Amino acid sequence: MGIYKWCFFLLILGGCTATHITSEWQSPDIHPYRYRHILVFASLPASMQQWRPSLETHLANDIAAMGYTTMLSSNTLYSEALKGKDEKTAIALLQQEKVDAILTITLYSTAKERYHIPWILDYYFLDVTSDYSLEYYNQALLLSTLSDYDPDHTIFYWESNLYDMTNGQRVYTLQTSALDINSVKRFSHHYGRQVVKRMKRAGILKQQYPSDLE
């Protein structure tokens, strides 16, 4: 294989991530050990409601792996009432649930863009626990035969907020963007891991142990 194809392959591989962080904010008034029971709620347009269980499940499972007790809004009595609702309305409905915090997943915007070849790869194949080198290599070779620019692609802009339900205040926000979500399951997996990783780094989520619950 020529050196050009190898360089092209490495360029694509190096630039592939599941999500891109665009903004992050946290309140100075954070109490990590207060949020033992966390409810996950995905706010999506009507045409994307089928994404809701996958997004909520993956994020909830990643949080539960740290010792927290999690709930899905799609499994509550308010599941149907929450469809298509915005965060403010959802928080009001879910106040009756006995949870310490609510973590939201909101698709707040989409946009059409044109990208140079290195960005049109379906980068959700990338997983640090797996080896997809052959997949990337094959796609790189295919892309190297295309023109410089690819037709329109869709950018999805996401936002996750954590609300402290003892006072109803928002204590954390993470905004991200993702290009061309071709697999909801794969995206949900990476999105959940990314959100939890950032919340751990911010000191909002901490590993819970049985002794912490005493």
- 57-84 pLDDT, tens digit each: 999 999 999 999 999 998 888 788 888 7
Residue-level pLDDT at 182 = 85
Residue-level pLDDT at 150 = 54
Q: What is the pTM of this model?
A: 0.74
> What does the pLDDT look like over 80-109, one tens digit per residue?
888 878 888 888 888 878 899 999 999 988
Residue-level pLDDT at 52 = 94
What CA–CA distance (Å, rounded) separates 9 from 140?
A: 5
Of 191, 162, 200, 208, the closest CA to residue 58 belongs to: 191
DSSP sequence for 97-115: S--SEEEEEEEEEEEEE--
Residue-level pLDDT at 103 = 96
Residues 6+ apart with CB under 8 A from 2: none
Q: Which amino acid is residue 54, in one-letter code?
A: S
Residues in the chain, pLDDT under 50: 1-17, 116-137, 139-149, 214
Candidates 2.60.40, 1.10.287, 3.30.420, 3.40.50; CATH matching 19-114+149-209: 3.40.50
Tell me whether residue 112 is exposed, middle or buried, using C-beta atoms within 10 angstroms of its C-beta: 0 to 12, 13 to 18, 19 or more.
exposed
Return the SS3 of 87. Answer: helix
As separate numbers, helices (DSSP H) first and strands (DSSP E) second, the chain gives 6, 6
